[in-house]
């Protein structure tokens, strides 16, 4: 594979183009200029200086989005030294930021490319009632993480249920029960409301004000700037999540939602989305006893906006599309499955002005598949981020090649 260089104009031609946000196009073209999609269609005028990427015989789709992963913050094969997912020294770690703990050389990012994933929302773990701030980033392309960030103002991770009560119960401190977990969250938001009022009063009077990173973050949630990513499996914990969101008025996103099918009508009525998964797991704890891939189809059928997650490294990130395939087998409509990998996670987490479909004005993150990506036999043959090829399948060696940051390339993991 010859590493691609950034070019002004790239035209991907002749493929079966699936924008997701609109109808598929036979023998379509995707035109990318300066890293941004400028036109998608069957009759696109291609500039003379464009670099042509023939896509004949392939399916051309937007890069997939992993909307709840720990890639880079929970590194593979590095043991405890590579696991910075949970700062479990305080039940409230709202001020902690995932961006400060992500290693972009984690092998999981190369795996993501092989699975057609070009964007990921990396989140702190679920050991705390309030775990910290998430970050949306591209899966490749920068020398530092800062060059790959889509947005560092996405959401705050929170957890209900067994995880936080187990962590702090073992320490003989609050929270040791579901009541205690909800109490920590409720008190934190009450403090944030008072903080925001004090801050506004100081601003009105031209007085100095000391910034509290914990309370300032939660005030951003109350202001609607950040979503509230709620780790929750059981239906009673989901009900608690809704109760808290109603009480404080923040934008709730259910993460995991193992038993969300039991109250899917309530979630649909309130417009609360669900990031569902991981699916390739056993019933490893009490909260997962009703786990079933078919639950996703039930949730979606009720009218809930859904996305799919591997919760990497719980399930390898490149298996994201395979989870969607099995969800289709268990009743999820094909079009919804593709939406759950693209436009839905983008809209749920406020990233749809950059990624999620092949549409004019969005980033040129495009994947050429050997066939229907929901077919288990299809593979990602070429991946572009911002119009630049970063990964390509080598049929000769039967291995994927990633363009490395230094300009060299080597086989992908």
Render pLDDT for 358-375 as a digit per residue (tens, 0 to 9): 999 999 999 999 999 999
Exposed, middle or buried: residue 221 (CB in 10 Å: 0-12, 13-18, 19+)? buried
Lowest mean pLDDT, pick from 76-85, 180-189, 219-228, 233-242: 76-85
pLDDT of the residue at 127: 96
Show the tokens assigned to 395.
Answer: 């049929």
pLDDT at 264: 98
CB 25 within 8 A of CB 42: yes
CB 387 within 8 A of CB 95: no
User: Average pLDDT in the 98-106 region?
Assistant: 97
Q: Which tens digit of pLDDT belongs to each residue from 252-270?
A: 999 999 999 999 999 999 9
User: Residue 35: helix, strand or coil by DSSP?
Assistant: coil
Q: Give residue 412's pLDDT.
A: 35
Phi, psi values for residue 400, rounded to 5°: -85, 145
Residue 67: the pLDDT is 98
Q: How many CB atoms lie within 10 A of CB 410?
A: 11
Average pLDDT over residues 59-64: 98
Interhelix angle 178-204/235-248, rounded to 10 degrees, is 20
The whole-number pLDDT of residue 7 equals 58
- What dihedral angle (degrees, nearest 10) is formed by the CA atoms of 309, 333, 355, 386? 90
Q: Determine contact, residues 280/75, Cβ cutoff 8 Å.
A: no
Position 406 scores a pLDDT of: 58
Nearest by Cα to 274 from 243, 315, 304: 304
Question: What mean pLDDT is predicted for residues 330-347?
Answer: 98
Is the per-residue pLDDT at 211 higher than 90?
Answer: yes
CB atoms within 10 A of CB 327: 27
pLDDT of residue 89: 96
Q: Is the peptide bond before 313 cis (omega within 30 degrees of 0)?
A: yes
* Confidence (pLDDT) at 410: 35
> Tokens in use for 42?
């069957």
The model's pTM: 0.95
Radius of gyration (C-alpha) of the chain in whole angstroms: 22
Confidence of residue 413 (pLDDT cuts 50, 70, 90): very low
Question: Does 8 or 104 have the greater pLDDT score?
Answer: 104
The pLDDT tens digits of the residues spanning 266-314 come to 999 999 999 999 999 999 889 999 999 999 999 999 999 999 999 999 9
CB 133 within 8 A of CB 152: yes
pLDDT of residue 108: 97
Banded pLDDT at 171 (limits 50, 70, 90): very high
| Residue 8: per-residue pLDDT | 84
Q: Provide mean pLDDT across the span 103-110.
A: 96
Please check the confidence at residue 384 and state whether its pLDDT lies above 90. Answer: yes
Tell me the torsion sign for CA atoms 350, 320, 318, 338: negative
Among 101-105, 114-118, 400-404, which stretch is predicted with the lowest mean pLDDT?
A: 400-404
pLDDT at 408 over 60: no
Q: What is the mean pLDDT of residues 341-348?
A: 98
* Mean predicted lDDT score pLDDT of the chain: 95
Would you say 353 and 343 are in contact if contact means Cβ atoms under 8 Å apart? no
Q: How many CB atoms lie within 10 A of CB 90?
A: 15
Give 204's Cβ-side CA count (13 Å radius): 6
pLDDT at site 411: 32
**In this structure, what are the phi and psi dihedrals at residue 108, rounded to the nearest 5 degrees?**
-60, -30
pLDDT tens, 1-51?
A: 444 555 589 999 999 999 999 999 999 999 999 999 999 999 999 999 999
Q: CA–CA separation, 370 vs 376, rounded Å?
A: 11
């Amino acid at each position: 594979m010859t590493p691609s260089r950034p070019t002004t104009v790239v035209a991907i031609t002749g493929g079966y183009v699936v924008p997701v946000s609109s109808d598929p196009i036979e023998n379509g073209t995707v035109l990318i200029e300066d890293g941004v999609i400028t036109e998608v269609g069957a009759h696109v005028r291609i500039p003379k200086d464009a670099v042509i990427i023939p896509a004949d015989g392939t399916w051309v789709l937007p890069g997939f989005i992993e909307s709840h992963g720990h890639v880079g913050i929970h590194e593979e094969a590095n043991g405890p030294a590579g696991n910075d997912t949970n700062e479990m020294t305080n039940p409230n770690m709202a001020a902690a930021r995932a961006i400060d703990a992500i290693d972009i050389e984690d092998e999981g990012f190369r795996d993501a490319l092989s699975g057609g994933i070009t964007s990921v929302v990396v989140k702190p773990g679920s050991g705390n009632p309030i775990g910290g701030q998430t970050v949306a980033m591209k899966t490749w392309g920068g020398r530092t993480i800062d060059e790959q960030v889509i947005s560092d103002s996405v959401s705050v991770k929170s957890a209900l249920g067994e995880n936080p009560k187990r962590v702090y119960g073992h320490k003989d401190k609050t929270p040791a029960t579901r009541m205690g977990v909800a109490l920590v969250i409720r008190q934190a938001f009450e403090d944030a409301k008072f903080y925001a009022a004090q801050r506004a009063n100081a601003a009105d009077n031209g007085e100095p004000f000391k910034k509290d990173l914990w309370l300032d973050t939660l005030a951003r949630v109350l202001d609607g700037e950040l979503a509230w990513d709620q780790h929750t499996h059981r239906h009673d914990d989901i009900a608690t999540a809704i109760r808290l969101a109603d009480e404080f008025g923040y934008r709730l996103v259910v993460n995991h939602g193992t038993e969300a099918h039991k109250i899917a009508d309530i979630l649909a009525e309130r417009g609360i989305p669900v990031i569902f998964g991981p699916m390739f797991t056993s019933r490893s704890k009490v909260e997962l006893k009703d786990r079933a891939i078919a639950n996703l189809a039930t949730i979606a059928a009720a009218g809930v906006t859904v996305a799919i997650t591997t919760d990497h490294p719980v399930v390898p990130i490149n298996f994201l599309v395979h989870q969607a395939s099995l969800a289709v087998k268990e009743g999820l409509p094909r079009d919804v499955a593709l939406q759950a990998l693209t436009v839905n996670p983008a809209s749920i987490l406020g990233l749809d002005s950059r990624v999620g479909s092949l549409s004019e004005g969005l980033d040129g993150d495009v994947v050429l598949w050997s066939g229907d990506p929901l077919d288990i036999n299809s593979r990602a043959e070429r991946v572009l981020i911002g119009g630049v090829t970063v990964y390509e399948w080598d049929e000769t060696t039967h291995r994927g090649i990633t363009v490395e940051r230094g300009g060299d390339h080597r086989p992908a993991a």
